[in-house]
Structure 1
Amino acid sequence: LSTGGSKKFEEDFLAAHNAYRKQHGAPPLRLSRELCQSAQKWVRGKTGNEPVDSWYSEIKNYNFGNPGFAGNTGHFTQVVWKDSKEVGVGVATDGKGLFFVVGQYNPAGNITNHGVLFFIGLVLPPPNIALIHGPKQF
């Protein structure tokens, strides 16, 4: 595997996070060199916004009327987790076009064993959608 996140990749990764977080009333993250190095250890052509866009697309499965963790929304909830302040990114490729991206957050969000109440006020809907019962279609 080839490894190493470029400065441009890291900037795109951070900008994509902060654009989505802004839509949910969460403050912007800062890029953490320590978390980037830690994430890179996990993953030993693509842009930094692509994995974040993919993770954010899980919003279509999230039920704001019944908040909590689900396997098909965990990336989304971490991207917009209001209390996270820093993010780090690591990237690797197999040389055949397959990329692996790891994001690490501080403080970490969407911890599954904290229960539903842990999500209230930390995963906010974008202000331009009406809340409905059940997943919102985007």
Structure 2
Amino acid sequence: MAWHCIPLSSFIILSLLVLTTTAQNSAQDYVNAHNTPRGQVGVGPLTWDPTLASYAQSYANKRIADCALVHSNGPYGENLAKGSSSTFSGLSAVNMWVAEKQCYDYNSNSCMGGQQCLHYTQVVWRESTRVGCARVKCNNGWYYVVCSYDPPGNWEGEWPY
């Protein structure tokens, strides 16, 4: 499947298209999916943090009723995703965020043409060193993924790497 920069309003449609053949939701799956793109831009690896995973799980549990892509506004950086297929895994979510790389212009440190790229910049944020993620099945049958990052990224005016 080819990835293209998409308007933010199309984000949920993209999540419907992302499929994997196996459920990949272990801590190591999340860490590996984050560390591959981080290595590609020369940023150090993330490590799994049980406190962040617990926070992500707690927040994901709060979203089971509505599956809404609404941030927790907590103390950590955060990426959210959802997908309707039972094969929508944690790996699917991270891959979707990483695919936003093509919408990110490093020279201007901005998303191109109003496209979404801030999930990608959080994945590769150089100062983030720990990650914890969770996945739940919502009441509507969709799957919801939360990843929490510490220290948080996406500080206005700062480059991710």
Q: TM-score, normalised by structure 1?
A: 0.72
Once residues 24 and 99 of structure 2 are traced to their aligned partners in structure 1, the CA distance between those partners, rounded to angstroms, is 24
- Larger deviation: 85-94 or 38-47? 38-47
1:60 to 81, 84, 102: 102
Instruction: Summarize the Cα distance change of 1:91–1:13 in structure 2 as closer, same or farther, 3 Å threshold.
Output: same
What is the aligned counterpart of 1:81 among 125, 136, 141?
125
Q: Is the 1:15–1:49 Cα contact (8 Å) retained in structure 2?
A: no
Could you tell me how far 1:46 is from its partner in structure 2? 4.0
Number of aligned residues: 112
In 1: Cα distance, 2:99 partner to 2:141 partner:
22
**Structure 2: distance between partners of 1:48 and 1:90:** 8
Native 8 Å contact 1:9 1:47 kept in 2: no
1:72 alignment counterpart: 116
The structural deviation recorded for 1:97 is 4.4
The structure 1 segments of at least 4 consecutive aligned residues displaced by more than 6 Å after TM superposition are none
Q: One-letter code of the match for 2:129?
A: K
Task: Map 1:5-44 to 2 at 5 A.
Answer: 8-44=25-61
Q: Distance in 2 between matches of 1:23 and 1:87?
A: 18
Deviation sequence 1:41-73 (CA, Å, 0-9, x none): 111144332110000111111111101477711
CA RMSD of aligned residues (A): 2.2
Secondary structure at 1:72's aligned position in 2? coil
- The 3 A distance-change label for structure 1 pair 71 and 31 is farther
What amino acid sits opposite 2:105 in the alignment?
A: N
Look up the match of 2:150.
106
- Give % identity: 29
TM (norm. structure 2) is: 0.62
Unaligned runs of 5+ in 2: 1-22, 62-86
